[in-house]
Each structure stands twice: as structure tokens, then as C-alpha cells.
Amino acid sequence: MGGVDKGLQNFHGMPLAQRALRRLQQQTLPPAEWMINANRNLAAYEAFGVPVWPDALPDYAGPLAGFLTGLERCKTPLLLTLPCDVPNFPLTLCERLAHALQAQDAEIAMAAAPEPDAHGQPRLRPQPVFCLLRTHLLDSLRRFTQQGGRKIDAWTAQHRQVIVPFDEATDDPHAFANANTLAELRALEQAQ
């Protein structure tokens, strides 16, 4: 986003990170605890009233660095991960991931959302940053990142995972739309 802190950009008058926290509180199965992974402007994030932890890995190592930080700090058997730049993620996210994880005896439940393919036909595309992880995966992720691994799908492929489709008739087909630029963020605002 041109060097600005994405999580502090407003969406309908509220910082994206704060909106994500609010949507977590509104979940049909809300998480027991919340934390934010941020690497700058920590005081601004702390103002949202939840613990804030910077990456455990140096050099802004990507989403897996946030997963690692979350797993190191998580006090429950499961960790839900999600990015702040998807302001309309489903309010059933946690519940549906948890049900699939339990039903399939998986270690990771990952959301998948419809997206048009090259011919305009809908296909399900995994959304790897929307995960429910068993916290016993900490050692595996630590080893993977210590060996230089940075790709989420390369790590998750090593574990029992279930892909959870969010393509039911009642699902918003744009629920997983993300904003990587300020223009995309404004476009998402106007679409509502």
C-alpha cells in the first residue's frame, strides 16, 4: 500500500485491524482469545485492546512468520489465523473451519473461496492465510522456517489438512476479496 501500514488504513471509518477484531467477536463460534501480529506502529495496534506481538523471525519473513509468532504465544489448542486486508471475511469462518478440522481429524483447516478461472468459470482457490491450526504444529513450523521455508502451502502440505469451501448459496462470493492497494480498499468500500 505504498509504504503505509495496511492494518491502520480505514475501511468505512475503522482501521482494518480493528474491523478484523470486530468480525472475530461477531463469529458464530468466536475465538477465546485474540492477538495481533504487527511489526511497526505497535502502540497504535495496542490501542485496540489486545496483545500485539512482532514477528518471531527477522526481515519481515511473510505470513508464516506471523503463524510462528501466533503458535508461540497461543494458549489454546487451536490457532485461527487471518489477514487484516480482507475486511468482509465470513462470520462463520471459525465455526466452519473448526467443524471440518474435527470431522476430518485434520491438523490444519484452510478456507477456499470461489474465483473465476482463465475462462471466467468459478473454481475454488485456497486462502492459505485463513487457517485453523493445531498448536502442536509449532515445532514443525519452527523447523521449516529455520531451514529457510517461507511458503505457506509448502509447509501445510506436510500435514493432515482439510480445505473448507466457502461457496454455498448463502456465502458472499466476494467475502475473501482483499485490498493490496489504497485504490482496491476504496473499491471494496464502494462495493458495499
pLDDT at 192: 75
| pLDDT > 80? residue 16 | yes
Sequence-ordered list of residues with C-beta below 8 angstroms from that of 4, at least 6 positions apart, any chain: 182
In one letter, which amino acid is 129? V
Which helix or strand (DSSP H or E) is residue 128 part of? Answer: strand 122-134
Query: Which pLDDT value is given to residue 1?
Result: 63
H/E element, 163:
strand 161-165
Taking Cα atoms as reference points, which of 90, 93, 112 lies closest to residue 163? 112
Share of the chain above pLDDT 70, in %: 99
Q: Which CATH superfamily is domain 6-191 in?
A: Spore Coat Polysaccharide Biosynthesis Protein SpsA; Chain A (3.90.550.10)
pLDDT value, residue 141: 97
Residue 173: band (very low, low, confident or very high) from pLDDT cuts 50, 70, 90: confident
Break the chain into its structural domains and give their ranges.
6-191
Is 30's pLDDT higher than 90? yes
Q: 78: helix, coil or strand?
A: strand
- Is a pLDDT exceeding 90 seen at residue 177? yes
pLDDT reading at 63 higher than 70: yes
* pLDDT at site 179: 92
- Residue 96 and residue 115: Cα distance in Å, rounded? 19
pLDDT value at position 39?
94
Distance CA 167, CA 2 (A): 32
Q: How far is the C-alpha of 139 from the C-alpha of 71, rounded, in Å?
A: 9
% of residues, the chain, pLDDT over 90: 84
